[in-house]
């Protein structure tokens, strides 16, 4: 029996194999060698965007690179993507500095270096992250003293109340920044309705965090709708969008009803109705001084296949039982797997 699966750009969780061309690289900051991974598409145009993808607690840049597959989006949409690794903390695990400025300074210095080397667009620097990496995104947005980042997209994380309450630091955001928040209502690591994290402190409910950023950016309500329930499991993703019609700043919320603590993805690689990496890039592509055309528009019925690549971006041919990326002449991409 043969089955043909056709799924728009799902995410396959797989070990990191064949990514040597993307690192690891090392950058000295405060006399410490910091690790990062970097993907630069071939013939990347001058003044292209860069996306920083921040891993969760105890993870690494290589882990988040393999589980988000941003490299595929990078190649198709001409942006650089960087995956820094946090330092090992007192717990013996990697952890971002979300109560100080060492990692903000590190990422700023790294960005300055990459900008000079690759002539990137300083107006289109973005950050996304999962769990602890999401918390670092909030920390960046609250505490950056210059407008390094134009937008953040924290997924499966929370904003600590000590950031705005003054202990151990106080950061009052003085710079507007677009924010895309993605959280599941059944996330047992960070309760959607807020809570207390042992050893760290209190964190805000998601709705409070959304209100915080809409007020800061002077955004007003724009639209609300439910995404299609593509797997008919009644786990519906509710989308709410706010914007500032004068400045263009945006605040989006993807509330994944019954969603858990994971990087959201479509079946069979996940149980959700969307691929988070694709949605995050779509958000980032609408932010900045220049308009970027998203590749994820309606698919033309007359599209032609240009090539097939594997999940590492290497050109290949049809292989049974292997997830592959199909690239078409209208800019769309699909993930397909032919099962035998």
Q: Can you give the pLDDT at residue 263?
A: 96
Q: Can you give the pLDDT at residue 249?
A: 95
Q: What is the signed CA dihedral for 116, 118, 122, 124, rounded to 10 degrees?
A: -160
Cβ atoms of 136 and 62 within 8 Å: the answer is no
pLDDT band at 312 (very low <50, low <70, confident <90, very high): low
Q: What is the mean pLDDT of residues 14-30?
A: 66
Q: Can you give the pLDDT at residue 330?
A: 63
134 lies in some domain: yes
Cis peptide, bond prior to residue 268, ω within 30 of zero: yes
Least confident of 3-7, 213-217, 233-237, 275-279: 3-7
**Sign of the C-alpha dihedral computed for residues 266, 268, 270 and 271 taken in this order:** positive
Q: What is the mean pLDDT of residues 38-54?
A: 95
pLDDT band at 3 (very low <50, low <70, confident <90, very high): very low
Q: Can you give the pLDDT at residue 170?
A: 63
At residue 240, does pLDDT exceed 70? Answer: yes
Structural domains counted in the chain: 1
Spatial separation of the C-alpha atoms in residues 85 and 24, rounded to whole Å: 10
322 lies in some domain: no
At residue 282, does pLDDT exceed 80? Answer: yes
At residue 260, does pLDDT exceed 70? Answer: yes
pLDDT band at 15 (very low <50, low <70, confident <90, very high): very low
270 lies in some domain: yes
Q: Can you give the pLDDT at residue 8?
A: 36
323 lies in some domain: no
Q: What tokens does 71 get?
A: 């490299």
Task: Name which residue leads in pLDDT, 240 or 294.
Answer: 240
Q: What is the mean pLDDT of residues 217-241?
A: 93
325 lies in some domain: no
CATH number at residue 215: 3.40.50.1820
**Helix (H, G, I), strand (E, B), or coil: what is residue 208?**
helix
At residue 12, does pLDDT exceed 70? Answer: no
Q: What is the mean pLDDT of residues 113-139?
A: 95
Q: What is the mean pLDDT of residues 229-255?
A: 93
For 151, the domain range is 12-298
pTM: 0.79
- Strand order in 125-130's β-sheet? 25-29, 32-39, 80-84, 50-54, 125-130, 151-155, 178-184, 250-256, 237-243, 220-226
Ranges of beta strands (E only) in 24-177 are 25-29, 32-39, 50-54, 80-84, 125-130, 151-155
What DSSP character marks residue 21?
Answer: G
20 lies in some domain: yes
Q: What pLDDT digit, counting tens, does each position of 56-66 carry?
A: 999 999 999 99
Q: Helices (H) and strands (E) in the chain — how many of each?
A: 7, 17
113 lies in some domain: yes
Q: What pLDDT digit, counting tens, does each position of 91-111 carry?
A: 899 999 988 889 999 999 999
pLDDT band at 300 (very low <50, low <70, confident <90, very high): very low
Q: Can you give the pLDDT at residue 335?
A: 62
Element (H, E) at 308: strand 305-309
Q: Can you give the pLDDT at residue 231?
A: 82
Q: Can you give the pLDDT at residue 98?
A: 87
pLDDT band at 319 (very low <50, low <70, confident <90, very high): low
Q: Can you give the pLDDT at residue 185?
A: 97
What proportion of the chain, given as a percentage, has pLDDT over 70?
A: 78
| Average of per-residue pLDDT values in the chain | 83
324 lies in some domain: no
Q: Can you give the pLDDT at residue 224?
A: 96
């Amino acid at each position: 029996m043969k089955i043909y699966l056709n799924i728009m750009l799902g995410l396959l969780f797989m070990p990191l194999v064949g990514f040597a061309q993307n690192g690891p690289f090392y950058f000295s900051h405060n006399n410490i060698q910091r690790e990062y991974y970097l993907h630069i598409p071939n013939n990347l145009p001058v003044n292209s965007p860069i996306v920083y993808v921040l891993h969760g607690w105890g993870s690494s840049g290589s882990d988040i690179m393999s589980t988000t597959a941003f490299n595929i989006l990078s190649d198709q949409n001409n942006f650089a993507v960087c995956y820094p690794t946090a330092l090992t903390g007192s717990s013996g695990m990697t952890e971002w500095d979300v109560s100080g400025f060492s990692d903000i300074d590190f990422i700023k210095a790294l960005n300055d270096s990459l900008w000079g080397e690759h002539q990137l667009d300083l107006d289109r620097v973005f950050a996304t992250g999962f769990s602890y990496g999401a918390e670092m995104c909030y920390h960046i947005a609250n505490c950056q003293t210059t407008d390094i980042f134009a937008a953040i997209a924290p997924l499966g994380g929370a904003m600590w109340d000590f950031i705005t309450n003054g202990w151990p630091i106080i950061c009052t955001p003085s710079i507007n920044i677009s924010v895309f928040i993605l959280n599941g209502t059944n996330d047992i690591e960070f309760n959607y309705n807020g809570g207390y994290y042992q050893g760290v402190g209190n964190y805000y409910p998601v709705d409070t965090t959304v209100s915080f950023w809409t007020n800061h950016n002077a955004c007003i309500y724009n639209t609300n709708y439910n995404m299609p329930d593509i797997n008919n499991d009644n786990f519906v993703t509710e989308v709410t969008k706010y914007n500032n019609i004068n400045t263009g700043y945006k605040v989006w919320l993807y509330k994944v009803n019954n969603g858990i603590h994971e990087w959201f993805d479509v079946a069979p690689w996940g149980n959700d109705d969307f691929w988070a990496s694709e949605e995050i890039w779509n958000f980032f592509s609408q932010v900045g001084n220049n308009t970027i055309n998203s590749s994820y528009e309606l698919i033309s019925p007359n599209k032609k296949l240009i090539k097939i690549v594997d999940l590492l971006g290497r050109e290949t041919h049809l292989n049974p039982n292997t997830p592959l990326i199909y690239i078409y002449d209208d800019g769309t991409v699909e993930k397909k797997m032919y099962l035998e």
